[in-house]
Homo-oligomer: A and B are copies of this chain.
Amino acid sequence: MTRRKVKLAFIVNESARKTTYRKRKNGMVKKANELATLCGVEACMIIYSPYDTEPEVWPSSMGVQSTLVRFRQMPEMEQCKKMMNQMSFTRERIQKISEQVKKMRRNNREKELAQIMYHYLSSGIFLQNMTMNDLHDLSWLIGQNLRDISRRMEALEMEPQNEVQIQSQGQEQAGEDNNNGKGIMEMNISTLQRQQNFMELMNCAGDETLPFGEANLCNAWSSPFYF
């Protein structure tokens, strides 16, 4: 799976399939050897391919025989417990990947909303054509940020010796960010006020219940008309 992410499906092209078979078979034998060596487990592997009349076997004849004997000696029930067929395996993989997708979607949405929030904070211009859903989630994100800020401010008040240090850091930052000499506290206050305006605008400032849903943020960013 390289140069191009290959689709997990039967390879129609004869020679390509054979090439892939040989490469991957060797890879698996190597892996089996590593697993047995590193973890000291008993394992065996049998592969029938249309390319050879004899099966490809690992590790040795003796190894396979003893593993098989041990396997046959178990009660049928025991044998089956850990068995995994292709369907259940595939189902599990699909579920796992679906969860990843969901997570990434949530992540993307959160970042998208954060971008909109920062845009508003820096420009004061409010993005148009957002749905109620978008506004709702955005208000949740803003609430989160407000709570974080409050928490940090309280922490600073508790430990006043830190305040000076933080303040001076803030001034450096302000300089870098072209904030014309405003200290960070000042910045935060005007930020807070603007956020408050925003919240009032949407009158749902107190809502706690909103993690991000599946909805995409329409085309607020891709449209040339807004801002």
Give me the interface of A with B, judged by CB distance under 8 Å: 6, 8-11, 17, 20-21, 24-25, 27-50, 52-64, 67-68, 70-71, 74, 78-86, 89-90, 93
Given contacts A42-B47, A58-B84, contact A37 B9 (CB under 8 A): yes
Give 8 closest A-B pairs by Cβ, nearest first.
Answer: A60-B85, A43-B47, A21-B39, A42-B48, A54-B81, A57-B83, A54-B82, A41-B49
Partner pick for A50 among B41, B52, B85, CB 8 A cutoff: B41
Given contacts A61-B80, A79-B55, contact A45 B43 (CB under 8 A): yes
Complex CA gap A47/B83 in Å reads 11
**Contact (Cβ within 8 A) B44 A20:** no
**Contact (Cβ within 8 A) A47 B41:** yes
Copies of this chain, how many? Answer: 2
Whole-angstrom distance from the CB of A40 to the nearest CB of chain B?
5
Complex CA gap A47/B31 in Å reads 13
**Contact (Cβ within 8 A) B67 A83:** no
**Contact (Cβ within 8 A) B38 A60:** no
Given contacts A24-B35, A28-B28, A38-B10, contact A60 B46 (CB under 8 A): no
Instruction: Chain B residues near A68: list those with CB within 8 A.
Output: 46, 68
**Contact (Cβ within 8 A) B79 A59:** no
Instruction: Chain B residues near A42: list those with CB within 8 A.
Output: 47-48
**Contact (Cβ within 8 A) A71 B59:** no
Instruction: Chain B residues near A93: list those with CB within 8 A.
Output: 30
Complex CA gap A53/B75 in Å reads 12
With A54-B78, A55-B71, A60-B83 given, name 10 new contacts (CB 8 A). Answer: A9-B37, A10-B37, A21-B41, A24-B35, A44-B45, A45-B46, A55-B79, A56-B82, A58-B84, A63-B86
